[in-house]
């Protein structure tokens, strides 16, 4: 037990977050995402499942510990709705608000076509799978630097 760490971040996820370096991506995905298959190809080969946790709760907990990169325009990338690349769903808007609040700035969020997102996820450090029920609740989060 440690102070100041959100309770849904267990030892395995804490290890992943601490092990990542600047510029590494973390895939935060929903329940429909092929997480086990993708995780097998990631840098760490790790899949962390957050049972009973939606994307909002996961993002809020992650951003307590996880700095987003300030050296890139879009440290958050989302999976596009198939055939509707400019459509923003509620889950996308929610993560945008959570990221902005955590970083005290407007955080850039880009989109990736579904298959491009799968390919980029295989290059991530690890995969964190929620039980999010809303479709397209899939994000890549680029880790930043802590300057203090």
Known catalytic residues are: 22
Q: What angle do CA 75, 80, 84 make, to 5 degrees?
A: 140
Can you tell me the distance from the alpha carbon of 125 to that of 122, in angstroms, rounded to the nearest whole number?
A: 8
Distances (CA, A) of 25 to 88, 117, 133: 21, 12, 23
CB atoms within 10 A of CB 121: 28
Question: In 3-state terms, what secondary structure has residue 60?
Answer: helix
Tell me which H or E stretch contains 101: helix 90-103
Whether the Cβ atoms of residue 66 and residue 141 lie closer than 8 Å to each other: yes
């Amino acid at each position: 037990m440690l102070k100041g760490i959100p309770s849904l971040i267990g030892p395995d996820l804490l290890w992943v977050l601490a092990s990542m370096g600047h510029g590494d991506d973390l895939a935060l995905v929903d329940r429909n995402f092929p997480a086990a298959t993708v995780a097998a190809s990631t840098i760490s080969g790790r899949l962390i499942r957050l049972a009973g946790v939606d994307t909002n709760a996961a993002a809020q907990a992650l951003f307590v510990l996880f700095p987003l990169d300030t050296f890139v325009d879009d440290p958050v990338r989302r999976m596009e709705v198939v055939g509707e690349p400019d459509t923003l769903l509620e889950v996308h808007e929610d993560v945008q608000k959570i990221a902005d609040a955590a970083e005290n700035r407007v955080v850039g969020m880009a989109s990736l076509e579904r298959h491009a997102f799968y390919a980029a996820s295989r290059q991530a450090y690890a995969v964190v799978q929620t039980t999010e029920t809303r479709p397209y609740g899939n994000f890549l989060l680029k880790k930043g630097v802590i300057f203090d």
